[in-house]
Chains A and B, each alone.
Chain A
């Protein structure tokens, strides 16, 4: 098929592109943040009770395999939202995030050495404080790794929302396709990629900064 490359479209639509980018970030990141907040107590419960783990972890796996298109079209029917409600995209994205992170959080908490949690209890931490000051910090590296995958996939999944009219930069792709405007499509795709890369790098950096002990290596012995 023949596509047009109307380069002048780009400078004329800077505002539109910026607005779509902002919307894309809002659509993608809010569910990731909410998903993270939900995953931590779920992961905690799964790491604590084997029964919960036996249900939650496989369930999360199944949820993650539902095709995004199916979930995005089904969710509005299930939760009864209006046609162009951002929640139509954000709820599925939240579900994917939780599905991904429950496993990370569970694994990360299970990997905290038993003697460390035993020592924390023995020196007099109460359970909540022990979780927040010992177990959760030690789980950060694994959680951040999961979070990076969640953020990057949220960036691409958000575009699928364009098919039901809420898609941030994804809408530029569908619009460009309809109008045979290759520039619009390429700009949107490039921005999605760029944002995903930048956010990934940002998470990697922040993750390292808040876990200085992971960089302390053996061999620094006197």
Chain B
């Protein structure tokens, strides 16, 4: 556990970067520091591994004042992932990942073996190990950055806007991977971002900072969306927070209704659209797209994968939440969301009003904080 006790950082010019911060970061969880630029989130992060020393106050790591530790030794026990990965350009990927084990006295052979394992863990092919960072894509570099931070198996991981410089698709990949890794590794992760969506997606708890280095709210993502502490937090949390809060509600109670499907290769005449639409599925019953009654008369005698109206998002019944259920219904051309099982096969349809009913039930039972 990491505890900030009345931590203040004031620079000689009088700027206060962090103002009497009191905060406890839970062990084995992801805690996200989020806020606009100049809010002190990065300064707070960098005080944990003594890249910056506080002006006053105390930071405890597992109950021990970090000022009692020799900074380089302290840092070797704390993984650090920086924006743009901060890889050493003159070292190969494998050597980059081996850095901390070598510093802590591992033999070159052990360090390299460990580095190889970590590349695999973060989903990079072993042959990339011999490349230099410049030869990798931004997303690959960031994965190497994570591998390097994990190499000495530190209990604590600090991540300083690690995914901000990659495109949204790659960022989404990296976020999913971090969550997967964390479910196996149970590290104490402190993650800094300016992106509230990233904070809500990744954080077990989120600390919202305001300009001037003050903590505005420290809560779980669902609490933050449901009950922002003040106008600053509510405006920072932003638009659609009611809608986004739905992602924290399980969709168990949402009924999955029947839906019309027709298989590729069957006769068009056999299709029986419901409310004017039918889902075209493949041999494994996975959805390919929609056909309307009007389109059915134009596509010829056999249903093919051509000429379909593409569908909206899919709702996975096994791990779905109210947000994905509602979104599937709203984004579908037919007004019915497609519900699929773990293998991706169609199991039924979701209507928006049934999601809203489930939401009001959740409100009545107190599942939604009022």
Q: Are A218 and B73 in contact (CB under 8 A)?
A: no
- Chain B residues whose CB sits within 8 angstroms of the CB of A54 once the complex forms: none
In the complex, the answer to whether B82 meets A125 with C-beta atoms within 8 Å is: no
Chain A 120-168 interface residues, beta-carbon cutoff 8 Å to B: 120-126, 134, 137-138
Cβ contacts under 8 Å, B86 to chain A: 113, 115-116, 118-119, 122
In the complex, chain B residues whose CB is within 8 Å of the CB of A122: 49, 51, 75, 80, 82, 86, 158
A-B contact pairs, 15 of them (CB 8 A): A116-B87, A116-B88, A118-B51, A121-B75, A122-B49, A122-B86, A123-B76, A123-B148, A134-B88, A134-B90, A213-B132, A216-B131, A218-B134, A221-B135, A222-B125
How many A residues are at the interface, by size bracket?
20 to 34
Q: Does B89 contact A (CB under 8 A)?
A: yes
Q: Shortest CB–CB separation between residue B225 and chain A, in angstroms?
A: 32
Complex CA gap A220/B134 in Å reads 9
Prevailing SS type, chain B contact patch:
loop
Interface residues on B, range: 20 to 34
Contact A123 B83 (CB under 8 A): no
CA–CA, A212 to B76, complex, Å? 28
**Is B235's CB within 8 Å of the partner chain A?**
no
With known contacts A115-B83, A115-B84, A213–B103 Cβ distance under 8 A: no
**Partner among A118, A124, A138, A220 whose Cβ is within 8 Å of the Cβ of B89:** A138
> What chain A residues lie within 8 Å of B83 (beta carbons)?
115
Which residues of chain A have C-beta atoms less than 8 A from B128's C-beta? Answer: 222
Beyond A116-B86, A119-B86, whether A125 also contacts B103 by CB under 8 A is yes
| Cα–Cα distance between A212 and B89 once the two chains are bound (Å) | 10
Total contacts A to B, CB within 8 angstroms?
75
In angstroms, Cα B83 to Cα A119, docked, is: 10
Establish whether residues B72 and A125, one from each chain, have CB atoms under 8 Å apart when the complex forms: yes
Given A118-B51, A137-B90, A138-B90: A123 in contact with B75 (beta carbons within 8 A): yes
Distance of A137 Cα from B89 Cα, bound (Å): 10
A178 within 8 A of B: no
Q: In the complex, what residues of B have CB within 8 A of residue A218's CB? A: 134-135
Q: Pick the 9 closest A-B CB pairs, nearest first.
A: A119-B86, A124-B76, A122-B80, A216-B132, A124-B75, A115-B86, A220-B135, A213-B132, A124-B72
> Is A13 among interface residues, defined by CB-CB distance under 8 A?
no
- In this complex, which of A113, A118, A120, A217 has the most chain B Cβ atoms within 10 angstroms of its Cβ? A118
Distance from B199 Cβ to chain A, minimum over Cβ atoms (Å): 22
A115 to chain B: closest residue by CB: B86
Most buried by B among A122, A125, A217, A222: A122
Q: Does A211 contact B (CB under 8 A)?
A: yes
Q: Is the CB of B76 within 8 A of A217?
A: no
How many angstroms between the C-alpha atoms of A151 and B200 in the bound complex? 59
Most buried by B among A113, A119, A120, A218: A119
Report chain B residues within 8 Å CB of A137. 90
Q: B73 near A217 (CB under 8 angstroms)?
A: no
B178 interfacial by beta-carbon distance below 8 Å: no
Which of B51, B90, B134, B148 gathers the greatest number of chain A CB atoms within 10 Å? B90
B295 adjacent to chain A (CB < 8 Å) = no
